[in-house]
Amino acid sequence: MRILVFISILLCAISSHAQDRRNHTPVKPGATEADIIRMAANITPSKEQLRWQEMEMTAFFHFGVNTFTDREWGEGTENPKVFSPSALDTRQWVKACKDAGFKQVIITAKHHDGFCLWPTKYTDHSVKNSDWKGGKGDVVKEVSDACHQLGVGFGVYLSPWDRNNPHYGDSPKYDVIFINMLTELLTNYGRVDEVWFDGACGEGPNGKKQVYNWAEYYKCIHKLAPHALIAIMGPDIRWVGTESGYGRESEWSVLPLGAADQAKIADASQSDMNIAPSVDCQTQDLGSRSKIKDAKGLIWYPAETDVSIRPGWFYHSTQDAEVKTPEKLLDIYFSSVGYNSVLLLNIPPDRRGLLNKNDVNAIKGLRTLLDKMYALNFASNAKITSNGVNEKAILDQQMTTFWTTKGEKEKGSIEIVLPKPQTIDVLCLQENITVGQRIEKFRLEYKVEDNWHVAARGTTVGYKRLVRFPSVNAKEFRLVIEESRLNPTISELGLYKSPVEIGK
């Protein structure tokens, strides 16, 4: 009986603690800078944001009339009959991505041309008026079925900008059509994990500019697909700010909210958040101390790095020789996943409705390079000591266990003694983000004779930080956390040798 009482007290304590942890919070008037830092250190991702971050790599499929007209932005005037894949096989797309380590895919259900890859009731500009499968085909269904069968996450890109719809620009009328389309996508295709809205907004045929009713779009998603994250023009996932595949070295997932944003979200929970925070995604510093010190609120708003494997987003046969190499993709991996963001790599299906062999070979090659690197963590048999607690956790491959300092000490160091000297040029660090993102500055040192030298330096860590540096040969290493918001945590630490020479 006593044990039961004890367990229930413990459970209450844990759950009230869990409730304290939120992915956004207002900052009370009069809060000091120290108060704000403490609050920022305790902002954590929602369950869905955590799942998304842990996937690390997701894939984009840009496919539609542009594939057949050789364009990047269709005008919405194309004859639906141009859409004519000869051998469409979405299982091939999803399987190739899964084998290469991509955990979720997103299909362009409707791009700016307004052509819908599913037989929607709300426009004639869709697959139902093509000859593909006698007008009975549904690409969205085929992609979602393949995802659900293969255990891969499924997401939809739905362009709000629509160059075909006659009501585009007539805001309330178009909003109803857009929400009807969203409703079809979120009710007829099983679980949807991500909805990707891009911000392009052109003029409608009536010369008027559409004013999107984002709050109503989000409401529809929260009602019909509560697990789905809303990306880019949405409250859950932010654009990293480039389409190059290269994110920021100092990448904070905790961002400040201005007074206007904070007033709008007031006490909203993640599930009814109806605004996208206004952030200039192209600014270099989004979340350092100087950025958050006057914040009116704080939010977990992590970065997604989107890039295409080819120069264009859609397939063009003229670009078959310009598919990024596995080495280039690895460089992008280091500069996206390794910079605390999720990589969204676009791999556009060709006119047959298949991923081209050049693209498939490139992502296979990326997988081989990653497997080669991650196969051997030179720290895995090391002797670890530190001035903090729970050193063993950094090598147990579990994100929920972690090393930290004693009390709320902001600085700490971990010594890593390998069984014998090794040549190393990559440091991998992971924070336990279910506690918060905290580390602001660190360095890795190595010992030669009795002297410590610096091998690498870095700022933020977050979910994952990979640092490449000119290779060093040593047996003793030391990770020094120089600055942190409250006590730092390290869930995992890896010392690796890059399969591609640094700088090549």
The residues binding ligand FUL (CB under 6 A) are: 72, 198, 200, 306, 313
Residue 43 forms beta bridges with which residues? none
Shortest CB 9 distance to ligand FUL, Å:
50
Shortest CB 312 distance to ligand FUL, Å:
9
Residue whose beta carbon is closest to ligand FUL? 198
Q: Which is nearer to ligand FUL, 123 or 159 (CB)?
A: 159
Distance CA 225, CA 451 (A): 57
Bridging pattern class, strands 238-239 and 254-257: unpaired
472 burial (CB, 10 Å; 0-12 / 13-18 / 19+) is: buried
| Residue 89 one-letter amino acid | D
Residue 488 near residue 41 (C-beta atoms within 8 A)? no
Shortest CB 315 distance to ligand FUL, Å:
13
Q: Which is nearer to ligand FUL, 62 or 485 (CB)?
A: 62
Shortest CB 73 distance to ligand FUL, Å:
6
Note the Cα 210 to chain centre separation in Å.
28
Q: Which is nearer to ligand FUL, 127 or 345 (CB)?
A: 345
Q: At what angle do helices 357-374 and 326-334 cross, to 10 degrees?
A: 50
Shortest CB 313 distance to ligand FUL, Å:
4
Residue 489 forms beta bridges with which residues? 404
Residue showing tokens 């789905």: 228
| Residue 106 one-letter amino acid | I
Residue 69 near residue 115 (C-beta atoms within 8 A)? no
Note the Cα 387 to chain centre separation in Å.
34
Shortest CB 345 distance to ligand FUL, Å:
11
Q: Which is nearer to ligand FUL, 306 or 350 (CB)?
A: 306
Bridging pattern class, strands 194-197 and 229-232: parallel
Residue 347 near residue 245 (C-beta atoms within 8 A)? no
Q: Which is nearer to ligand FUL, 198 or 359 (CB)?
A: 198
Shortest CB 198 distance to ligand FUL, Å:
4
Q: Which is nearer to ligand FUL, 72 or 482 (CB)?
A: 72
Bridging pattern class, strands 24-26 and 297-300: antiparallel
Q: Which is nearer to ligand FUL, 112 or 351 (CB)?
A: 112
Q: Which is nearer to ligand FUL, 212 or 452 (CB)?
A: 212
Bridging pattern class, strands 303-308 and 297-300: unpaired
Residue 106 forms beta bridges with which residues? 60, 155
Q: Which is nearer to ligand FUL, 306 or 391 (CB)?
A: 306
Shortest CB 306 distance to ligand FUL, Å:
6
Shortest CB 411 distance to ligand FUL, Å:
41
Residue 420 near residue 450 (C-beta atoms within 8 A)? no
